[in-house]
Amino acid sequence: MTDLSQGIAFIDDEYVPVAEARIPVLDWGFLHSDATYDVAHTWHGRFFRIEDYLDRFHTSMAKLRMSVPYSREQIRAIMFELVKRTGLRDAYVEIACTRGLPAPGSRDPRNCQNRFLAFAIPFVWIADDKLRQQGLNLLISEQQRIPPESVDPQIKNYHWLDMVMALFEAYDHGADTVVLVDAAGNLVEGPGFNVFARSGNTVITPARGVLEGVTRETILELLSREKLDVRQDLLPATLARSAQEVFITSTAGGVMPVTRIADETVGDGRPGVLTAKLNDAYWSLHADPKYSVAIDY
């Protein structure tokens, strides 16, 4: 029996070990990064906010004029089946749509047959156990994020070269990860995460030029229960550096503390009380039927 504990993919109507999944080299998803995707996760055998991820995936496809030969219900069923076949309780589940293959010699995207694929692998963490406990060292890059006037950040995409080069910059400076800025130097987002900063009673997360992550939305919901002034607004680098708490949010890790920015201490240099409270509350929601649904293994 094939061991699928390291992952399985669904492509061309077949389930295959993830290491064997392939797309044609001429697919525009590969050649042009002409694709959209989304990533949901399971925790302790339950899918978290799966309908929100499906909503965003279908919205992204519509904006890119893509379609796939599977209904929303069928895609949802495929996601469940992927996890069931792996036996994973904590899984990272990606669904994607590529532009597909063009007609020979054509540059007309209308001639492409869009391709759907999906895979499930063990849960992926942005930060390891040690970093999640002690906090990350975050570099504020001089690299500008692709502006929303060029590419709509609400369409989850693989246009990551700006973030990849910023990651190299971070590693060159001994940082753990990086956040990019807009043309005015305001913080925007990092590779796969949103950022928040608390100064006194005010919590700010960038409002423009970012993918409005499902984890971000969950944290905003949790923050609405607190007696805080929560804003989606500009987040200047100077404000982030002087904040009492900074944290990042992602499907790949929940709420993660930032305790240093370019080797300058954030607050007292330890994960903040609000950050810890939000992290605990976030993971607790994974057992709540309002937010999660059990997988029938």
Domain annotation covers residue 3: no
CATH number, position 54: 3.30.470.10
Which three-class secondary structure state does DSSP give residue 80? Answer: helix
Domain annotation covers residue 77: yes
Q: How far is CA 209 from CA 33, 91, 190, 249, 289, in A?
A: 19, 28, 11, 16, 32
Task: Locate 37 and state its tokens.
Answer: 């995707």
Domain annotation covers residue 63: yes
Closest CA to 61 of 268, 69, 124, 181: 69
Q: Domain ends where: 68, 88, 122?
A: 122
User: Do both 138 and 281 map to the same domain?
Assistant: yes
Give tens-digit pLDDT for 168-219.
999 999 999 999 999 999 999 999 999 999 999 999 999 999 999 999 999 9
Determine how many CB atoms are found less than 10 A away from the CB of residue 135: 26
Amino acid at 79: M
Q: What is the pTM of this model?
A: 0.96
Q: 80 pLDDT band (50/70/90 cuts)? A: very high
Cα R_g (the chain), whole angstroms: 20
Question: Does the structure show a pLDDT above 70 at 1?
Answer: no
As a whole number of angstroms, the distance between CA 109 and CA 286 comes to 40
**Cα dihedral sign for 145, 149, 153, 155?**
negative
User: Do both 204 and 104 map to the same domain?
Assistant: no
User: Do both 275 and 150 map to the same domain?
Assistant: yes
